[in-house]
Amino acid sequence: MKHTITLIPGDGIGPEIVAATVRVVEATGVDIEWETQILGAQAFEQVGTTLPDVTIESIRKNKVALKGPQMTPVGKGFTSVNVGLRKALDLYANVRPIKAMPNVKCRYPELDLVIVRENTEDLYAGLEHVVVPGVVESLKIITEKASTRIAKYAFEYARDNGRKKVTAVHKANIMKLSDGLFLDCFYNVAKEFPEIEADDKIIDNCCMQLVMRPEQFDVLVLENLYGDIVSDLCAGLIGGLGLAPGANIGELGAVFEAVHGSAPDIAGQGIANPTALILSAIQMLLHIGERGAAERLDRALLAVFADGEHITRDLGGTAKTNEFARAIEEKIVAERSAAA
Ligand code: NAI
């Protein structure tokens, strides 16, 4: 089956890691027509807006996008491109699997958990104002609708992916109304999934537990801000941002992207690590029903890490982005010709 997918190369290292990812995805033999669109700084330079309507429309039409990181131009008047995109497409669930790779030095090589972050509200609603000079108010929005929807997503994800437990992370002991509502919604939804264990942790304790005994967690569900911070913490447990993939899922579409940003400090040097985006592309292949291609790519990626000969600089190796991609491509080609 042929798929049409919106492709957003992004800024900084974006075009380099997107090219590497497209190369290894295509090596699997999956039939994809890429519809290239722009966003972010590049879009602002070319068409005067960071979030062009044509890009949003392309994702609405195709329902799936693979996206490189964006740079939000610094300065007043520029809202975050990613927050804007998530709002425009109502991409309410941000799913971030945390799993270590073979041969990567990290604190928890066996770790395997999934973060489900609410993506549309909380302090990221961006509702801030000056009350009087020197006093600023920022509004935290938590709704029953969004809290129920994300809890449901987390339990469905757990059920569909053979996971055993979902933990809600909150600060309901202090924010009794807002985080209290989030927690109530979580336990209401939990009743519909008796086969999945449900528990909760206060955010500060949760951070300590993640560093000390992360194996106790399976799926974590969090409000937007906690989810943002805790997912970077978890990326640190398995070797850093270069290995952390993400999916933004909504009713109108799904956008797959790495957790990291555009890394302007190494852009254009051909040394960026495309692993996080390749892992995001594996999630994308599963989402569009291409399980065979997803598994082929996953096996090849793991095999390249297990060989340890083509590791990028951020993980202590010397391989360039394209050498790493070529090694994965060669594994896939070898597997496909052995099977033919
Ligand atoms: P960053 O994630 O771009 O970089 C942090 C550090 O990690 C840098 O030293 C960078 O070289 C390194 N790094 C990141 N990804 C890497 C990779 N794939 N391979 C090797 N090294 C990698 O975070 P930073 O510097 O805070 O943000 C830079 C820009 O990215 C900002 O404009 C920010 O707004 C944007 N950003 C975009 C995101 C997105 O589009 N989803 C997410 C986060 C930040």
Rounded distance, CA 33 to CA 90, Å?
24
Whether domain 1-97+241-340 has CATH 3.40.718.10: yes
Give, for ligand 1, the residue of 117, 260, 273 to mutate: max count of ligand atoms closer than 8 Å to Cβ: 260
Catalytic residue (one of 31, 53, 199, 204): 204
CB of 147 shorter than 6 A to ligand 1: no
- Identify the residue with better confidence: 83 or 56: 56
Catalytic residue (one of 157, 228, 314, 320): 228
pLDDT score recorded for residue 45: 87
- Output DSSP code: residue 73: P
Rounded distance, CA 168 to CA 145, Å?
16
- The candidate with the shortest Cα–Cα distance to 5, out of 294, 255, 187, is 255
pLDDT score recorded for residue 42: 84
- Residue 92 known to be catalytic: no
- pLDDT, tens digit, for every residue of 20-78? 999 999 999 999 999 999 998 888 889 998 899 999 999 999 999 999 998 876 665 66
- pLDDT, tens digit, for every residue of 258-294? 989 999 999 999 999 999 999 999 999 999 999 999 9
Rounded distance, CA 26 to CA 34, Å?
11
CB of 290 shorter than 6 A to ligand 1: no
pLDDT of 79 strictly over 80: no
Largest CA distance in the chain: 72
Identify the residue whose tokens are 């600060």: 171
pLDDT score recorded for residue 73: 65
Chain region(s) in the chain for CATH 3.40.718.10: 1-97+241-340, 107-237
Q: What percent of the chain has pLDDT over 70?
A: 98
CB of 73 shorter than 6 A to ligand 1: no
Q: Please, which residues have CB within 8 angstroms of residue 334's CB and are 6 or more apart in sequence?
A: none
CB of 231 shorter than 6 A to ligand 1: no
pLDDT score recorded for residue 339: 86
pLDDT score recorded for residue 1: 87
pLDDT of 90 strictly over 80: yes
Rounded distance, CA 141 to CA 130, Å?
18
Burial class (CB in 10 A: 0-12, 13-18, 19+), 288: middle
Q: Whose CA is nearest to atom 6 of ligand 1?
A: 263
- Mean pLDDT, the chain, rounded, equals 94
CATH number of 107-237: 3.40.718.10
SS3 337: helix
Its pTM stands at 0.92
* Average pLDDT of the residues in 91-114: 94
pLDDT score recorded for residue 24: 98
pLDDT score recorded for residue 126: 80
Q: Whose CA is nearest to atom 43 of ligand 1?
A: 261
- Residue 204 known to be catalytic: yes
Q: Whose CA is nearest to atom 30 of ligand 1?
A: 261
pLDDT of 188 strictly over 80: yes
- pLDDT, tens digit, for every residue of 114-133? 999 999 999 988 889 999 99
- Residue 228 known to be catalytic: yes
pLDDT score recorded for residue 78: 64
- pLDDT, tens digit, for every residue of 197-245? 999 999 999 999 999 999 999 999 999 999 999 999 999 999 888 899 9
